[in-house]
Amino acid sequence: MLPQNAIIVKYMKDNKQIYINNDRGSNDLENIISNLKKQIANSKTIDNSHQILNGTLQKRVTELETDNKRLVAEIDDLKERLCKCE
């Protein structure tokens, strides 16, 4: 019975058959490199989307800081006006 993924090779002299496994196994460097390249591509995609999100969040933080400063000034002004009334 032939192993799965095997190729039959015949020698001419004695007509013997040997089986060569086509599956390189888990240590196949070409396969490992290919998988690592896919992981790098996926990581770059994720990095790009995170950079876009981070930029959006940074803009929002800046807006909120500006609003916070404005509200602090408004509260201080209202406190001052309230103290003058009393």
Displacement of CA 40 from its chain's centroid (Å): 8
Cα–Cα distance between 33 and 84 in angstroms, integer? Answer: 75
* pLDDT tens figures, 37-73: 999 999 999 999 999 999 999 999 999 999 999 999 9
Q: pLDDT at position 27, please?
A: 76
Q: pLDDT at position 37, please?
A: 97
Q: Coil, helix or strand for 67?
A: helix
Residue 19 lies in a domain: no
Beta-bridged to residue 6, according to DSSP, are 21
Residue 80 lies in a domain: yes
Q: pLDDT at position 54, please?
A: 97
9 Cβ contact partners less than 8 Å away, ≥ 6 residues apart: 17, 18, 19, 20
The total domain count for the chain is: 1
Which residue range is the domain that position 68 belongs to?
27-85
In the predicted model, what is the mean pLDDT of residues 17-45? Answer: 83
Residue 14 lies in a domain: no
